[in-house]
Chain A
Amino acid sequence: MTDNFEPTIIGFTCNWCSYRASDLAGTARMKYAPNVRLIRLMCSGRLDPTFVLRAFSSGADGVMITGCHPGECHYIEQNYKALRRYLLLKRVLVGLGIESERVKLVWASAAEGAKFAAETTAFVEEIRKLGPLGWGKDEMESENSSFILHHSSLEKEALA
C-alpha cells in the first residue's frame, strides 16, 4: 500500500524567516512536493509540542517545524527554545511508539526559498519511506470509535 502512499505533512513556520522563505519559494516559482500544509506562527518558540501530537492524531504523517537560524531569531533567542522542545519531543515520540524521524526541524532564513523548497521535498520523501503513521487505524475499524479516522480515507471522503 505504500506504493501510492502520499504523505500528509503539517509544517509550522515562523512569521519572520521560514514563512517568508516559503513566500520567496512561491515568488521564485520553485516547485516542491505538494504534501505540506503550512501554519504560520509568530515564532518557532510558540510551538507547543502538543500541536505536533495533535497533528499526528488528526492524521498527519509527518510534522516539519521551521524557524529562523540560530542567532537570527526576530525575538532574539526563542528559536533555541524551539530547538530544546524539538529534541525533547523526539524522545517522547519514541516513547509513544512513533518514529522520531516523523518530526523534523529546519532552519530557513527569509532569503532561503530554495532551501525551504528542497527541505520540504526531501522530508516528504523521508516520510514516504516510513509509510503512513496510521494512528487511529485500529480504532476506525473497531465499531465504537468514529472519533479518530484513518486519515487517507478521511481525505478521500473530504475531497470526494
Chain B
Amino acid sequence: MSEQKQERVGVYVCHCGSNIAGTVDVVDVANWAAQKLERQGVIIARDYKFMCSSLGQELIEKDIKELGLTRVVVAACSPHLHEKTFRTAAKNAGLNPYLVELASIREQVSWVHSDKAVATAKSKAVVSGAVSRVVENRALDEIKVPINPNTLVVGGGIAGIQSALEIANAGFHVYLVEREPSIGGHMAQFDKTFPTLDCSACILTPRMVEAGTHPNITLLTWSEVVNVSGYVGSFNVTIKKKARFVNEELCTGCGICQEKCPKKVVDDVYEAGLGYRKAVYTPFAQAVPNFPVMDKENCTYFLKGTCKACEKFCPTNAIDFKQQDQTINIEVGNIILATGYDLFDARRVSNYGYGRLPNVFTSIEFERLSNAAGPTSGNIVLRDGKTAPKSVGIIHCVGSRDKNFNNYCSVICCMQGLKFAHLVHERTGATVYNFYIDMRTAYKAYDEFYQRVLEEGTLFVRGKVAEVTEAARKESEKGKLIIQVEDTLAGKQRRIPVDMVILSSGLQPRADAKDVGKLFGISCSMDGWFTEKHPKLDPVATMTEGIYIVGCAQGPKDIPSSVAQGAAASARVLDKILQKEVALEPIKASVNAEACSGCRICNGLCPFNAIAFIADDMVSEINPALCQGCGTCVAACPAGAISGTGFSDTQIIAQIDGLLFRNLVEKPEMA
C-alpha cells in the first residue's frame, strides 16, 4: 500500500455566507480534514466565504498549480448546482475535471439540521467520504457528440408556435407536431384576451399562418409522437400521422366537402360541446393547415358504406377513403414540449351543479358563447339559445386552491373571471357578481383591469361559494340559480339569485402528461406538471438534456408568459445548435473481456439494448453509444467484469468507508 503513489488532495470548505457557516463550524471542518485526513492525501484544507465566487475558484486553481494538487474536494452545495463550476475551474488549472468531488454540506447538512455540533460532525463525515472517494476517481474525457440542427416542437398552441417561429426564423428546420387537425391550441377558442381585450384570433392567426407557411417549418397536424430514442444531439423520433382521408397535395381547402357533408356532429373539442361540426371538418375557419379531416367514427360512409357526398363534390378529387395512418421517422437534436393543459372538469365540484343545472357554464363554454365566430355569434344567452341573462354570477377558483381538487393556484382564473365580467356587462348590461377567495391580479396592467371592472359596476363578493342550487326558498328565487355563499367581508351568509353561473375553472396537467413525460424521459411534479431543471434559474430546461418544456405543460400560466417561455426555450436550442456539438457525461459501463465468463446475466438487464453477447468470443460487450450509465449491469455482474466509469465499485466502497470513518483506521498488514 505504502509504495502506491500518494494523491495530493485539496479540501475547500465553503461558508456560503451564513448558509453553511451559520450551522456548521466550517473552520473546524477544514482544520479537522487537514489533520485527520492527512493519511488519505489531504495536503491542504481551506475555508472560504464563497467558493463559487471567482476568487474562490482562483484559490483552487492557484493551489492546483502551485501545490500540485491531483484531487480536489469542495465541501459546499449540491453537485447539481455547482459541480460544473468547480470542474471547470479544475480544467482551467490543468486538472482533469472528473478528479473533483463535491461534498454537499448545505442541502444535506446546514439547511436540514439545526444543532451546530451535530451538523459539524456530519460535515466531517461527508467530507471524509468525499476525500476517500476522490482518491479513487479516474481522469475521464468528455464525450462530444454532434448536434443535429433540426428541432422537434410538440404542441401547436401559442407557446409551441412561438418556439417554432423563433428557431425557423434563425434559419434552422423545425418539425411542429400537433395532435388536433389545426394548430392554434386553446388560444384559438378564446374571444378576447385579458387585460387589453385584444381579439384573440386577430393576434393569433397571423402567427399560425406564419408557422404554416414558413419554409423552415414542417407542419405535422393530426399527428402524434409515438416513440423517442437517442439523446441530446441525435434523437430519433417516430411520429404517427393519422389518416385525414383527404389528400393534402390535392386539397385546396375550398370547404365544399364540409358544406355537402350531411352528417352533423356535436363539436366537443373546439366548440366545447355548444356547437356542431360536420363529419368532415376543419375545426374553425382560420385553421392552419386548412385541409379538413374526416372523423371516421361519425362518417356515414365509414359507418354504413354509402354516402361519399364529399367525394362526389370535391372539385380536385382530394377525398381518399383508402388513406392509411402514416409513420414518419425524423432525426432531431433538440425537442421542445409545448403540450399545454386540460381544463379542470367542473363536474367534479358537484355542488356547483355543472352538467346538472343547465345554466351553469364552464369558462371554455363561455369563451365560445362570447366569441363572434362561436355557436351563438357572440350573443351571451342561456342554454335555451335565446334568453339574455339579467344577472350573472362568476365563481373563481373552481377546482383550484382547494384541497379536495387541486392545491395550486391556476394563475389565469382571476383575470379570466374579470374578463368575463367585463364582456357580460358590455354585451348584456346584466348585473354581474364575481365570487372570489383572493383577487390575484399580478403582472403588468392586470390590476388596472380589475379597477376598470370595479368601476363598471361589477359586484364583488369575497367568499368561497358553498353551493349553486335551483331550490328556491322564496318567491324572488323561483326559476333562478341561487348562489349560497359566506360573504367574509360582511361576515354573513348570503343567497344571491342569478340567471347564469360561469365557473372560472382552473387548469390541470394533460390527462396523459405522465405517459408523455415517460416517452420523452422527463418527470412530472406531484401535481402532474412537467418538472423544470431549476424552478428559478432554469425554468424551461429539464433534467434530460435536449428536452425543453414551455407554456402550460410546465405549470399554469397566461399567454404572455407562455410566449416568453416559448422564445426562451428556442434561445436555449439555438445555443446548442450553434455550438455544433455537446459534451456528454462520460459515465458508461464497459466489460473486461478477460474477466467475463459469458454468463449473459447482464444481457437482459439493459433497457437500452446496449449489451450484446458476442457468441464467437463467448463474452458480452457494451455499446458505449447506447449505454446511458445507470450501472445496473455493473451491480449484477457476478464476475465483477463490468465496471462503470464515475461510479466504480472502488469509488463507492471508498465513500462508504469514508463516511463511516473506517478510512481513519490503520489497516493491518495482510499477512
Contacts and interface: CB of A to CB of B under 8 A. Distances in A.
B523 A10 contact: no
B662 A154 contact: yes
A10 B115 contact: no
Interface string B228-265: 00000000000000000000000000000000000000
B399 interface: no
Interface in B88-114: 104, 106-109, 111-114
B232 to A, nearest CB: 14
Given A45-B632, A111-B525, A111-B531, A58 B662 contact: yes
A20 B635 CA distance: 22
B124 interface: yes
Interface residues of A, number: 58
Q: Which of A17, A22, A68, A78: most chain B CB closer than 10 A?
A: A78
A14 B561 CA distance: 33
Contacts of A30: 112
A34 B660 contact: no
Interface in A72-111: 72, 74-78, 81, 85, 109-111
A112 B636 CA distance: 29
Contact of B630 (A17, A25, A43, A59): A43
Contacts of A48: 634-635, 649, 652
Contact of B664 (A20, A26, A158): A158
A59 B129 CA distance: 14
Nearest to A116: B112
B649 A81 contact: no
Contacts of A117: 112
A55 interface: yes
B307 interface: no
B665 interface: yes
Interface string B620-638: 0000000011111011100
Given A48-B635, A147-B668, A39 B126 contact: no
B80 interface: yes
A69 to B, nearest CB: 9
Contacts of B664: 154, 157-158
A29 B112 contact: yes
Nearest to A117: B112
Interface of A: 8, 10, 16-17, 19-20, 22-23, 25-27, 29-32, 34, 37-43, 45-49, 51, 54-55, 58-60, 68, 71-72, 74-78, 81, 85, 109-112, 117, 146-147, 149, 151, 154-155, 157-159
Given A55-B656, A110-B531, A158-B36, 14 more contacts: A23-B78, A26-B106, A37-B129, A38-B104, A45-B630, A75-B630, A75-B632, A78-B632, A81-B632, A109-B523, A109-B526, A111-B531, A117-B112, A159-B32
5 contacts: A23-B80, A48-B649, A54-B657, A59-B662, A158-B661
